Amino acid sequence: MTKIKSMIFLDGEFWLADEGLIESLLPWNLEGEGVFETIRAYAGRFFLLEEHLNRLQEGLKRLNVSIHYPKSEIEKYLYQTLQANKLKNARLRVTVWQVENRVRISVVAAEYRSSAKEQYQKGLKAIISSIRLKPKPNYSSVKSIHYFPYIQSFCKAEARGCQEAILLNERGEVVEGSRSNLFFVQKEQLYTPALKSGCLNGITRQMVIELSRKLGLPVKTVVVKPQDLFKAEEIFLTNSLIELLPLTQLNHRVIGEGKMGPITARLLKGYREIIKTDTSSQL
């Protein structure tokens, strides 16, 4: 069987990379300190690129990692990587990390196909992970390459037939999913874990909070306990790839009616309208 190769940007040059090199550049396989961003391209246009690049730079600043590439140059490399792989609908990961005194950068692209419509209706299954996250106050802008607890949690969830793991902090508060932020609905009120609990201030999380307020659905950022989730009428997960995807089973217990709820559906529709407007304006 032919091994897949793709063009990647690495340390100032483009390379034809095999699966081994690409795997070695996964954030959790890297040493040192650094951050990464996962960005989605729709029909050859990036969604919320400025926000991702701003967070990338803010995270590096907090970690005291210097980068010699301005945002405009990283944007150029992202588009070049997309075009070099002849992709339109894709996910791209840009990573900047420092090993000893050397700062490195990579951009990797792959085709991305959204989950089927049926998956959005029936939702995902998740478990609450036994792994506890350590507090990281004032680091909500850091999407760190120190990702092992998240990968470990996700793999354990997958082994139990689930598609996501929900992580708690050492105080037993809900933080986030292994690869997503979390929102839930109780009595038509929308909630999401507060940043002080340790969650990443996800780009999609921010967009959903802004969108919900525009739609007259204010969000409360609160300390969340696991029992709050089991009482929820709806739960959905967010990230740049999945957009908003319902979580309909948690620890083998059905949430709400076991399918996408009305508030999730309304927000997903509004979010996709923003995507269409934003990417169309780039043409």
Tens of pLDDT, residue by residue over 159-171, are 999 999 999 999 9
Q: Is residue 55 part of a domain?
A: yes
More confident position, 182 or 134: 182
Give the residue numbers spanning the domain of 49: 6-111
- The domain total for the chain is 2
Report H helices in the chain.
19-24, 49-62, 71-84, 117-122, 148-159, 203-214, 226-230, 262-280
Judgement on whether residues 124 and 253 belong to the same structural domain of the protein: yes
Judgement on whether residues 183 and 251 belong to the same structural domain of the protein: yes
pLDDT digits (tens, 9 = 90+) for 29-78: 999 999 999 999 999 999 999 999 999 999 999 999 998 889 999 999 99
Judgement on whether residues 89 and 162 belong to the same structural domain of the protein: no
Of 111, 134, 166, the one marking the end of a domain is 111
CA distance 256 to 276: 30
Strand-pair partners of 174? 168
Judgement on whether residues 94 and 122 belong to the same structural domain of the protein: no
Could you tell me the CATH number of the domain that includes residue 73? 3.30.470.10
Of 55, 88, 111, the one marking the end of a domain is 111
pLDDT digits (tens, 9 = 90+) for 176-229: 999 999 999 999 899 999 999 999 999 999 999 999 999 999 899 999 999 999
Check pLDDT > 50 for residue 1.
no
Could you tell me the CATH number of the domain that includes residue 190? 3.20.10.10
Q: Is residue 103 part of a domain?
A: yes
CA distance 63 to 57: 10
Residues 128-153, mean pLDDT to the nearest whole number: 91
- Long-range contact list for 57-63, CB < 8 A, 24+ apart? 58/141, 58/142, 59/35, 59/141, 59/142, 59/143, 59/144, 60/34, 60/35, 60/96, 62/138, 62/139, 62/141, 62/142, 63/33, 63/34, 63/35, 63/98, 63/142, 63/144
pTM (2 d.p.): 0.94
Judgement on whether residues 187 and 213 belong to the same structural domain of the protein: yes
Gap between the terminal Cα atoms of the chain: 39
Q: Where residue 279 falls among pLDDT bands split at 50, 70, 90?
A: confident
Letter for the amino acid at 24? S
pLDDT digits (tens, 9 = 90+) for 225-241: 999 999 999 999 999 99
10 Å Cβ neighbour count for 174? 26
CA distance 36 to 56: 7
Tokens of 250: 């948690």
What is the DSSP secondary structure assignment for residue 4, as one 8-state letter? P
Of 95, 111, 127, the one marking the end of a domain is 111
Judgement on whether residues 140 and 97 belong to the same structural domain of the protein: no
